[in-house]
């Protein structure tokens, strides 16, 4: 089972990469650099993996839990996950193709990237402040290591 340490490290790395990429893409000429694409797709892979791990390892017991508030928290976060995945998929379809960025409108790309990264940042904060405490009540010491 994934540990809280691993989940927090994943969130930290996602946050760190998001900030670096947002800084880099402000300059249009840097958007096409290989290093930018490498970092960008490393970040998108990390986001997908993080959400997949949560879905695979955390939600099942919570969704069937006898405590209604635990079940409701899991349902809310799972619903939020689905919405982020929907927005993320649209974003990737618009701006990416075969692990390359396709930027035709730089201003729009930066704006949509900022919006997406803000959404993900808010999600990570909510995970730490609201979701993980509930997860801890369900799984307890199983996730300590």
Q: Is the pLDDT at 119 greater than 70, yes or no? A: yes
In a domain, 21, yes or no: yes
Tally the domains of the chain.
1
Residue 83 lies in a domain: yes
The domain that holds 75 is classified in CATH as 1.20.120.520
pLDDT for the residue numbered 54: 94
Q: What is the pLDDT of residues 26-66, one digit of tens each?
A: 999 999 899 999 999 999 999 999 999 999 999 999 999 99
% residues pLDDT > 70 (the chain): 98
Q: Is the pLDDT of residue 98 over 90?
A: no
pLDDT for 141 beyond 80: no
Domain assignment present for residue 36? The answer is yes
| Structural domain contains residue 144 | no
Q: 44: how many CB neighbours lie within 10 A of its CB? A: 19
Residue 18 · residue 58 · CB < 8 Å: no
Average pLDDT over residues 91-104: 92
Decide if 145 is inside a domain: no
Alpha carbon 47 to chain centroid, angstroms: 4
Domain residues for 49? 4-139
Helices (H), the chain: 4-24, 28-31, 34-57, 59-63, 68-95, 106-126, 132-139
Query: What would you report as the CA-atom Rg of the chain, rounded to the nearest whole angstrom?
Result: 17
CA angle at 88 for the pair 98 and 99, rounded to the nearest 5°: 15
């Amino acid at each position: 089972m994934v540990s809280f340490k691993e989940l927090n490290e994943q969130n930290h790395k996602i946050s760190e990469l998001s900030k670096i990429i947002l800084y880099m893409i402000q300059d249009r000429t840097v958007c096409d650099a290989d290093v930018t694409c490498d970092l960008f797709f490393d970040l998108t892979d990390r986001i997908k993996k993080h959400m997949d791990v949560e879905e695979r390892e955390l939600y099942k017991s919570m969704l069937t839990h006898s405590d209604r508030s635990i079940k409701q928290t899991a349902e809310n976060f799972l619903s939020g996950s689905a919405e982020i995945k929907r927005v993320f998929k649209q974003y990737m379809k618009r701006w990416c193709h075969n692990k390359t960025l396709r930027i035709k409108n730089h201003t729009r790309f930066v704006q949509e990237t900022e919006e997406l990264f803000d959404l993900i940042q808010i999600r990570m904060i909510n995970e730490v402040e609201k979701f993980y405490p509930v997860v801890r009540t369900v799984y307890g010491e199983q996730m300590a290591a």
